Amino acid sequence: MPKDGEGSSSAFVEVEFENQTLRTQVKYKDLNPVWNEKLVFHVDDVADLPYRTVEVIVYNERKSGNGRNFLGKIRITGSSIVKEGEEIAQIYTLDKRSLFSHVRGEISLKLYLTTKEVSTEQKQNQKKQKKMFQQQQKQQMNMNSSSSMFPLTQQQQKQMVQKIQQQHQQQNNQQNQIQQQQGKPIESNGGEMKPVVITTGPGSGINHTPNPVPLGSAHGGGGNGFHGFNEFSLKETSPHLGGGAMHKDKTSSTYDLVEQMQYLYVKVVRARDIPIMGEVTAEVKLGNYRGFTKRHGSGHPEWDQVFAFSKDCIQSSVVEIFVKEKDKDDFLGRVWFDLSEVPKRVPPDSQLAPQWYRMEDKKGDKLKGGELMASVWFGTQADEAFAEAWHSNMHFDGLSSIKSKVYLSPKLWYLRVSVIEAQDLVPGEKGSGMMRFPEIMAKVQVGNQVLRTRVASATANRSPSHPFWNEDMMFVVSEPFEDYLMVSIEDRLAPGRDEVLGRILLPVAAIERRLDNKPVISKWFSLDMHYNNESKVSNRFGSRIHLRVSLDGGYHVLDESMMYSSDARPTAKQLWKPHVGVLEMGILGASGLMPMKIKEGKGSTTDAYCIAKYGQKWVRTRTVVDSLAPKWNEQYTWEVFDPCTVVTVGVFDNCHLDKNITVGAGVRDCRIGKVRIRLSTLESDRVYTHAYPLLILHPSGVKKMGELHLAIRFSCANMANVLHMYMSPQLPKMHYVQPLSVSQVESLRYQATNVVAARLSRAEPPLGREVVEYMLDHDSHMWSMRRSKSNFFRLVSVLSGVISMGRSLEAIRSWQKPVYSVLFLLLFLVLVFCPELILPTVLLYLSILGIWRFKSRPRHPPHMDIRLSHAETVYPDELDEEFDTFPTSRSAEMVRMRYDRLRSVAGRIQTVVGDLATQGERFQALLSWRDPRATFLYVVLCFIAAIGFYVVPFQVVVALWVLYEFRPPKFRNSLPSPALSFFRRLPSRADSLL
């Protein structure tokens, strides 16, 4: 597109890859430039290349090198880069940088990976280009770029990366050392440095339809670690669910959404007539696998323990049970079973009854005394003994943190405290002799939650001993109510120095509960006087405080983000409605997990387990030790009260398996990734079997940590009840009758998360705080440049439908296709003169459009999208900022640079918001007489138009106006219309801004 004001452009291309920026020469006064230049970039890690992008931007160089204009850009993923010898010229259409960019044209490129060394001449050229870029970058820092939402971000990031590159390198080295010490995943380079070669070809001025490679497409492939973006997409799987039970009736199998796993169960119950009275234990041996019971110190020990051996790891034809004395290798007796004779059990058959067996000695002879009660059978994970059994892959004795468990979130309540007023307060000893006006406030505390009222203002009708506040405060408490509500009256003597004038303690369990918005009766409470370090002073002066306290059960206490809420029921059970469906989930397994730790003698490995959360029910699968492709095959069920809810499944690495580590010793389970599924996107009674990518954002960029295999089914008995839910409010009635502010909701959600995390950390095995916070999106409110970009482009995508409709109307108005223009005008005239057909026609069109789109409906559940999240194009400094602590722990120079970048982004947002406000103020100025001449003209025109509309039918006016606007282009004037010119001349309040 011409950008120099003279009908031409002086174009050059700037290419950026991994903080390396090179540019071509300038082709002056040429709208079809040809460069044929080779730009070489170094690739540190070839395996990481598919997750990186190449950004190609075309600029117009202004006269005398004074800045540049944006001509278009493309962004190419590393997955589309092929090996040398396979490259072909690809034609790409230049994209806009923002919604308001004006771009036209195409560019042809060749991209390929080579292992050839860079020549000395090319190195010198690169150094020259780098110096040119740095000089131009300094000039650009003080200039405005073309209209983009984030125009200065990339430039400031490039500067920042150059300044703090050494600092980042030191941080990465320190981080790698820490990861090696903590056993976290270590990211290694993919061998030697390899350059990516980008060759720029001629800009295409030919009017044909190109076939550009779309962002995220898999192009090329092969070895060297190349993977397409389909690696980040959803994959449909075909597991053998329930051993074929998915084709049977649902009631025939409880585990019809998982693959059957065969186990050999050995139950050791007790022994009798043991010849010694010391501590004895039973050892179960199957090939190389050994399991031990607890020690028992009597002649008739009772163990009652079950051992489970996976059928895949059976390496022997017999299973043996030895009874041994404490710390001795010799056994007192032995019982063995031939596996070919072991029976099979299929639930709901009753359990196999244990029997007494005479034990043998070392020679195989039966002992005269000594018997063992045991039972052996083959079964599946549906067996009742599976959950509490010792498993062959545990390698640990009595370690509960690897078994599957079900947790329940505590029932949360909102505690509302209204501090109204106080009476007959007496100044304390510290403030009684000071000539000053007391600054009285009330402090309310429940557990670790503390809130304060404002300082009571002085009025003519109230003395300092009778302060008045009338403020509401909200807290989160959980059942069972063990905390106390403490309200204290304090006098602020100086900043940081408060003196307690009196306080009360109320047990939360004794507070009145309400289910609706009916007001609770307020009460006066006597205050205990101020405290000293030894004892409490009695209330001799009758100081009182007026409170209104209630437990509000009509609200739903939000402990997770409303966007991903899994439950919206009120706290009080009396207000619950019957469930409308059932969610069944089979957690099958995972594949391709990244190694998360290094174990001595075992190398890099992962001890993975899953957490699934829906409503109040959390489930935790067992931990599969030392496996990068764990198989869980565990099935769980939830009742569904609202189909428009989300179930969240997370995968973690268990870091508590070291015997030397105690719970609470600062060890945190590592995140591997999570999956969210909205139930309303699932068809009823259909089984979805997919492999979901596990994506996580590291300080080095987005990483695929593996794939999670799930089987999901949402069933509803009555479809009418489900459809009725769509007509009901999403939250309980109290949220609309007595709404909470946005700041209150965020503060209470933070408190609720802390309460849930504290309660689940006291379970056995405990759920760590890091697990709970990750599942509840605890840090979703934190600032992130990446999230801001993502939300902005989501908004642009929403507006693109309106823009495309406007383009279609403009195409009809410009008479590019006269047949369509004539048909549109005929349809419009029919609707104008038959207005009763407008609404039915629109509704019929929407119905037909919906039916037409049924065939292209989504067939898979939604999943994490790295392109929508802008995770594949995020810059290193943006990632460093996102993973920074709050408050920041970075250097002052880095914080200053980020603050300047934030100011630049906020400045663009400020400009857009100001422009929208200006247009609205111009509408207001039509009748405000701010511009008396303009208002006079508008009033006169409105009066004339009123007479005209009274005389001429409205349909005729509209028809004539549209016909005038849609007249052929040769009958039009290129100048703005008088109405638009009049509107642009109206004043706004921007004139009054400083």
Q: Per-residue pLDDT for 268 more than 80?
A: yes
Q: Give Cα separations from 35 to 26, 30, 69, 205, 580 (angstroms).
A: 9, 11, 19, 14, 65
Domains along the sequence of the chain with CATH = 9-132 (2.60.40.150), 262-393 (2.60.40.150), 411-428+438-530+542-552 (2.60.40.150), 573-776 (2.60.40.150), 785-992 (no CATH)
Q: Residue 608 in contact with residue 623, Cβ under 8 Å?
A: yes
Burial class from Cβ neighbours inside 10 Å (0-12, 13-18, 19+) for residue 989 reads middle
The phi-psi region of residue 542 (left if phi > 0; otherwise alpha if psi is between -120 and 50; otherwise beta) is: left
Task: Pick the closest to residue 303 from 318, 291, 293, 315 (CA basis).
Answer: 293
DSSP-assigned beta bridge partners for residue 283: 292, 322
SS3 of 724-788: HHCCCCCCCCHHHHCCCCHHHHHHHHHHHHHHHHHHHCCCCCCCCHHHHHHHCCCCCCCCCHHHH
User: Quick one: pLDDT at residue 461?
Assistant: 57
Give 583's pLDDT tier (boundaries 50, 70, 90): very high
CA atoms in the 13 A half-sphere facing the CB of 937? 11
Mean pLDDT of the residues in the chain: 79
CA distances from 590 to 51, 610, 770, 771, 961 (A): 21, 10, 21, 18, 64
Provide the sign of the torsion angle of the four alpha carbons 728, 734, 738, 742, taken in this order: negative
Closest by CA to 656, choosing from 557, 766, 760, is 766
Identify the helix (H) or strand (E) that includes residue 112.
strand 106-113
pLDDT of res. 430: 62
User: CB atoms < 10 A from the CB of 222, how many?
Assistant: 9
The confidence score (pLDDT) of residue 173 equals: 53
Dist CA 970 CA 287 (whole Å): 92
Q: Out of 526-540, 688-702, 708-722, 813-827, which region has the weakest mean confidence (pLDDT)? A: 526-540
Closest CA to 79 of 230, 236, 211: 230
Give the mean pLDDT of 679-686.
89
Question: If you average pLDDT over residues 233-260, what whole number do you get?
Answer: 67
Instruction: Name which of 819, 351, 411, 862 is nearest 648 in CA terms.
Output: 862
Amino acid at position 116, single letter:
K
Tokens of 495: 């900043």
Mean pLDDT computed over 822-843? 83
Where is pLDDT greater, at 410 or 536? 410
Q: Would you say residue 140 has pLDDT above 80? A: no
Residue 93 confidence (pLDDT): 87
Greater confidence (692 vs 903) lies with 692
The pLDDT assigned to 748 comes to 93
pLDDT of residue 944: 86
Residue 410 has a pLDDT of: 92
User: Residue 436's pLDDT is what?
Assistant: 66
Distance CA 479, CA 52 (A): 49
Consecutive H or E run containing 115: none
Query: Residue holding tokens 């990518």?
Result: 693
CB 962 within 8 A of CB 821: no
Cα 972 vs. chain centroid, distance in angstroms? Answer: 52
DSSP 26-52: -BTT-SS----EEEEEEES-GGGGGG-
Residue 26: name the closest of 155, 101, 136 by CA. 136
Quote the tokens at residue 991: 């004139």
pTM, two decimals, is 0.68
**3-class SS of residue 889:** coil
The confidence band for 433, taking pLDDT boundaries of 50, 70 and 90, is: low
Residue 883 has pLDDT above 80, yes or no: no
Q: What angle do CA 183, 184, 186 make, to 5 degrees?
A: 110
> What φ, ψ does residue 432 adopt, rounded to 5°?
-75, -30
Q: What angle do CA 231, 771, 860 make, to 5 degrees?
A: 35
The tokens describing 268, both together, are 């050791």
More confident of the two residues 430 and 40: 40
Q: Tell me how many helices (H) and strands (E) the chain has.
A: 14, 40
pLDDT band at residue 133, thresholds of 50, 70 and 90?
low
The alpha helices in 434-558, defined as continuous H runs, are none
Q: Say if strands 646-653 and 670-678 run parallel, antiparallel, or are unpaired.
A: antiparallel
- Give the closest residue to 788 by CA, choosing from 915, 881, 698: 881
Is the pLDDT at 144 greater than 70? The verdict is no
* Whether 18 contacts 43, CB under 8 Å: yes
**Side chain identity at residue 888, one-letter code:** T
More confident residue, 132 or 602: 602
- The pLDDT score that the predictor gives to residue 535 is 45
CA distances from 946 to 190, 392, 935, 938, 982 (A): 76, 89, 16, 12, 19
For the record, the structure tokens of 979 come out as: 């109405």
Confidence of residue 214 (pLDDT cuts 50, 70, 90): very low
* CA neighbor of 341 nearest in space, from 317, 305, 308: 317
**Average pLDDT score over residue span 963-990:** 80
What is the pLDDT, as a whole number, of residue 186? Answer: 42
Average pLDDT over residues 135-144: 46
Indicate if the pLDDT at residue 968 is higher than 80: yes
Band (pLDDT 50/70/90 cuts) for residue 212 is very low
Cα–Cα distance for residue pair 659/401, rounded to 1 Å? 11
Instruction: Dihedral sign for Cα 965, 967, 968, 970, please.
Output: negative
Q: What percent of the chain has pLDDT over 90?
A: 23
Select the highest-mean-pLDDT range: 79-83, 217-221, 300-304, 519-523. 519-523
Highest mean pLDDT among 263-272, 291-300, 817-826, 945-954: 263-272
575: pLDDT strictly greater than 50: yes
pLDDT band at 203 (very low <50, low <70, confident <90, very high): very low
- Residue 291: strand pairing partners: 284
Phi, psi of 597, rounded to the nearest 5 degrees: -155, 165
The pLDDT > 70 percentage for the chain reads 81
Q: Does residue 994 or residue 173 have the better pLDDT? A: 994
- pLDDT tens, residue by residue, 281-316: 888 998 888 888 888 777 678 888 899 888 877 878
pLDDT at 332: 84
- Our measurement of the distance from residue 258's CA atom to the centroid of its chain's CA atoms, rounded to an integer in Å, reads 27
Per-residue confidence (pLDDT) for residue 215, from 0 to 100: 30
Give DSSP secondary structure letters for 611-672. Answer: EEEETTEEEEPPPB-S-SS-EEEEEEEEEES-SS-EEEEEEEE-----TTPPTTSS--PEEE
Parallel/antiparallel/unpaired status of strands 513-514 and 544-552: parallel
CA 364 to chain centre: 62
Give me the pLDDT at residue 713, please: 93
The single-letter DSSP state of residue 480 is S
Q: Per-residue pLDDT tens for 324-365? A: 887 777 888 889 998 888 888 877 778 888 999 988 888 888
Q: What is the pLDDT of residue 991?
A: 67
Which pLDDT score is estimated for 180? 46
Distance CA 11, CA 30 (A): 7
Instruction: Using alpha carbons only, give the angle 269, 274, 277 rounded to the nearest 5 degrees.
Output: 110
- The three state secondary structure string of 291-332 is EECCCECCCCCEEEEEEEEEHHHCCCCEEEEEEEECCCCCEE
pLDDT at position 608: 92
pLDDT band at residue 191 using 50, 70 and 90 as cut-offs? very low
Work out the average pLDDT over 524-545.
66
Counting every residue written for the chain, the total comes to 994
Indicate the angle between helix axes 153-182 and 120-140, nearest 10 degrees.
120
pLDDT beyond 70 at 887: yes
Element (DSSP H or E) covering residue 502: strand 497-507
Looking at residue 178, what is its pLDDT? Answer: 45
Selection from 357-366, 423-432, 528-537 with the highest mean pLDDT: 357-366
Which pLDDT band, with edges at 50, 70 and 90, does 927 fall under? confident
The Cα–Cα gap between 117 and 297 comes to 74
Which residues lie across from 692 on neighbouring strands?
A: 708
Residue 125: pLDDT band (50, 70, 90) is low
**Rounded Cα gap, residues 2 and 913, in angstroms:** 29
Confidence band of 756 (pLDDT split at 50, 70, 90): very high
